[in-house]
Amino acid sequence: MAPTRELALQITRVLNDLKHHEKEYNVLTVYGGVSIGDQTWELRKGVDIFVGTTGRVLDHLERGNLKFQSVKALVLDEADQMLKLGFKEDVDRILHAVKEGVQGDLQFLLCSATVPRWIKEMAHQYLKPSWKMMDLAKDLKSKTQRNINHLSINCPFHNRMQTLADILVIYGGLGQAIVFCSTKAEANSLLLSEKIKKDIEVMHGDIAQNQREVTLRRFREQKFSVLVATDVASRGLDLPNVDLVIQVEPPKDTETYIHRAGRTARAGRAGTCITFWTMKQKFMCQTIEQRAGMQFTQIGIPQPSDVIRATSRDSIKNLETVNDGVLELFEDAATELIAIHEGDAKTALKKALAVMSGCHQEAMAQRSLLNGQEACITFQMDLNHTFNGVGLVWNILRRYIPETIAAKIKGMRALAERNGAVFDVEEAQAQ
């Protein structure tokens, strides 16, 4: 049994791939959102391996479609999720029915990438007294995969959408990314955002099952670059081409972070996981660091110049995909472009790249490094001694700059060593 339809289908694909020949054994997958009649017909013919989600398994149980006499093994995949409130009651009903129906010994396995203490305690209720724990990560200091680069970014909510769009360009490049949201509404808002220029599709519990399957297939086939999802995509799904995972806020528990981050760096590849947080959520990141045995590298909010450089980088990579057979079609335009710039091919190329980047008509406004606020420049003042409060810095600034400018300084923060401070000044006042 598995917690989601997507994971159940993936388990079935793996089981079918393990066959030596097509008729070695048959696998049936049952889940909601599709006709129960076809599943009933297959069950009546008999199956060797039965994969399902709890809701549809209960439907078949209540209809009398399941007979457990010959069951040899029962597996709960993502056990920590399956035994949480909301799933546990259904799981208990199914397990009771299996134990009542089995004739002979039953092997019971609880499998998960994360095994919290409460799962170990609960295992006593489900497993035999002689149960054993097999921990494949017990010798690892970090509970996350080794080849994931864990980054975090302090970003106020009102600047999150623009910052997310820029992060996708800079760190996502031409690869694939998954953006995890806490709610369906938030996922839909990202889908509709005009700031994000990448090809996006969304997946959450309100999306029809057949559409979710199409979306996952298209993502695996790299038909679009950004999948925006709730935790329906965080567990178990093997999406091998994901280079970047973004969490728009820290999850409430470490296990969720580990599962989300694990969607990248698959099959030996390297990957990046970036987590957005606000000052109120800083402690959540610290908790994840402690419990997961890893450390975030904090990055700043991207500047427009960073976005343009990344866009140019991707444009150059795209040039490698151009078929030589079409080059002749651009011969006249290329000759005219160089002639307009009096033979200066480098300037002509730079202007062409500027147009391709979409940042060629307006001057680039600076952004605060503290919160991403447009048209603000972040300054740092260093002192040769330490201080207790930023009042000293305010006094120095008022002594040497006009009061009209000092009054508009924002976001004053002391450095960790208490030997300086950072603050924002409006771009117009900073000239």
Structure tokens at 14: 């793996």
Q: Grade residue 142 by pLDDT with cuts at 50, 70 and 90.
A: low
Region 359-374: mean pLDDT is 74
Do 230 and 157 fall within a single domain?
A: yes
> Average pLDDT for residues 415-430, to the nearest whole number?
90
- For 303-334, write each residue's pLDDT tens digit: 888 888 888 888 888 888 889 999 999 999 99
Q: Are residues 110 and 207 in the same domain?
A: no
pLDDT band at 359 (very low <50, low <70, confident <90, very high): low
- Residue 365 within any structural domain of the chain: no
pLDDT score of 51:
97
Would residue 137 count as lying in a domain?
A: no
Number of domains in the chain: 4
pLDDT for position 314: 86
225 and 243 fall within a common domain: yes
**Phi and psi (nearest 5°) for 149?**
-95, 110
pLDDT of residue 50: 96
pLDDT higher than threshold 60 for residue 171: yes
For residues 216 and 180, membership in a common domain is answered with: yes
Q: Are residues 327 and 285 in the same domain?
A: no
Of 302, 332, 348, the domain-final residue: 302
Q: Could you tell me if 247 and 328 lie in one domain?
A: no
For residue 201, the one-letter residue type is E
186 in the same domain as 57: no
Domain boundary residue, one of 302, 327, 343: 302
Query: Whole-model pTM?
Result: 0.74
Do both 72 and 163 map to the same domain?
Answer: no
**Separation CA 393–CA 421 (nearest Å):** 7
Residue 368 lies in a domain: no
Using the 8-state DSSP alphabet, how is residue 250 labeled? -
The closest alpha carbon to 408, from 377, 370, 386, belongs to: 377
Q: Mean per-residue pLDDT for 336-342?
A: 90
For residues 163 and 298, state if they share a domain.
yes
| pLDDT tens, residue by residue, 393-406 | 999 999 999 988 99
Q: What is the DSSP letter of 158?
A: G
pLDDT of residue 318: 86
Pairing of strands 226-229, 420-426: unpaired
Indicate if 350 and 228 belong to the same structural domain. no
Residue 380 lies inside a defined structural domain of this protein: yes
Helices (H), 281-388: 282-292, 304-319, 331-340, 345-357
Query: Domain boundary residue among 283, 302, 321?
Result: 302
Asked if residue 138 is part of any domain, the answer here is: no
User: CATH number for the domain including 59?
Assistant: 3.40.50.300
Tens digit of pLDDT for each residue in 22-51? 889 999 999 998 889 999 999 999 999 999
pLDDT band, residue 86 (cuts 50/70/90): confident
H or E segment to which residue 220 belongs = helix 209-220
Q: How confident is residue 431, by pLDDT bands cut at 50, 70 and 90?
A: low
Asked whether residue 399 is assigned to any structural domain, the reply reads: yes
Mean pLDDT throughout 112-126?
A: 80
Whole-number Å distance between alpha carbons of 242 and 265: 7
Element (H or E) spanning 82, and its range? helix 79-82
Average pLDDT for the chain:
88
97 occurs within a structural domain: yes
Instruction: Please report the pLDDT score of residue 113 as a whole number.
Output: 80
Question: Residue 75 domain-assigned?
Answer: yes
The model's pLDDT over 187-237, given as tens digits with 9 standing for 90+, comes to: 999 988 888 888 999 998 888 878 888 998 999 999 999 999 988 777 767
Residues 59 and 119 in one domain: yes
Range of the domain at 330: 305-357
Q: What is the CATH number of the domain that holds 385?
A: 3.30.70.2280
Q: What is the C-alpha separation between 320 and 316, in angstroms, rounded? A: 7
Please state, for a pLDDT cut of 70, what percent of the chain lies above it: 96
Domain identity same for 178 and 256: yes
